[in-house]
Amino acid sequence: MSLRQVSTPDEWHSALARLPAPHVLQSWEWGGFKARHGWRASHWLWEEGSKPRAAALLLTRQLARLPLCVAYVPKGPTLDYGDEPLLNQVLSDLERLARQTGALSIKIDPDVERSGPIGRMVVEQLQRRGWRFSSEQVQFRNTMLLDLTLEPDELLARMKSKWRYNIRLAGRRGVRVREGGPDDLPLLYRMYRETSQRDRFVIRPESYYRDLWGSFIAAGLAQPLIAEVEGEAVAMVILFRYGQRAWYIIGASRSLHRERMPNHLLQWEAIRWARGHGCTVYDLWGAPDVLDESDPMWGVYRFKLGFGAELVRHIGAYDYPASPALYWLYTGAMPRLLALMRRFHWRRRAGGSGTA
């Protein structure tokens, strides 16, 4: 089996199309987007003859003010995880690439289910090779999935009755859903910003999302859907699509007209859109680690569950410390040192101002 670097998007997309369950975060477009925001992207392909066996979008980033970098294969590598010899070959090559690039560590977080023999085998092999469960889970570890091979009537039947009622209610109360496009980017960001202020989560500057959403829309890999009441936008989702899977990654809603249940109709139209574009799986992107009402994601989880989505737990992110001493310093000692420095700084400020 040979390993080589791919330099054209057409060849990369063609190779991923022949591999099992490629993720949108392994797409050429994701690498290009991250390359415009501080990362360096390279595309690696394992082949047996002319047949693709595995692929990895490898991102590397220089650490601020340090002569060090970290490496990351987002939601990858892409391969048949039931093939143990192939898995070990890919892991060995990724470990070598991390050392060659001078990375102190490399992170992977493939969508491998935690339960079952394949998940247990993958975790055993990672641990045997010196990979460690990461303290930094960049992406959601778990998710919620809908089977889109079912007929629409079957999908509706699997929903909770209240969700079916709210979908019909939204239609009766004048909620309409339309497809958005590049001209809607300012509107999409305004709704996302309003949602972040209401729900108290941090978002990036508008330019970041315009680049992300705009480039994926232009590539045909993302589709905004906007719910409106009497022509006024009240909620939105942005679906990402790659291969036969669609992801509900971004959503937002205004406080206006929430009693008309626009989010229920919006999700149903998103499901219908994904199914109509040939997707067999709808990934609702994100679920709690602990199913408890105290979890911050509990409300989101209950909303997704109402549509009949199934909770799927993945193995999560694992790091390979290419430089063990520096990895320990960066992930262990450095955060503690920074926390102490911040505490000392605030104590000095408090003492100087006379505050108790």
Count of domains forming the chain: 1
pTM: 0.90
Q: Report yes or no on 161 lying in a domain.
A: yes
Q: Report yes or no on 182 lying in a domain.
A: yes
Higher pLDDT, 95 or 339: 95
Look at residue 283 and give its three-state secondary structure: strand
Q: Report yes or no on 28 lying in a domain.
A: no
Q: Report yes or no on 258 lying in a domain.
A: yes
Q: Report yes or no on 306 lying in a domain.
A: no
The letter for the amino acid at 120 is R
- Quote the mean pLDDT of the chain: 92
Of the chain, the percentage scoring pLDDT greater than 90 comes to 84
Q: Cα separation of 32 and 28, whole Å?
A: 6
What pLDDT digit, counting tens, does each position of 143-190 carry?
A: 999 999 999 999 999 999 999 999 999 999 999 999 999 999 999 999
What pLDDT digit, counting tens, does each position of 233-289 carry?
A: 999 999 999 999 999 999 999 988 989 999 999 999 999 999 999 999 999 999 998
Q: Report yes or no on 65 lying in a domain.
A: no
Residue 261 CA to chain centroid, in angstroms? 26
Residue with tokens 């799927």: 312
Q: Cα separation of 336 and 128, whole Å?
A: 28
Residue 196: CATH number of its domain: 3.40.630.30
What pLDDT digit, counting tens, does each position of 15-70 carry?
A: 999 999 999 999 999 999 999 999 999 999 999 999 999 999 999 999 877 778 99
Task: Give the domain extent around 248.
Answer: 149-279
The letter for the amino acid at 155 is L
Give the pLDDT score at 350.
42
- R_g over Cα of the chain: 22
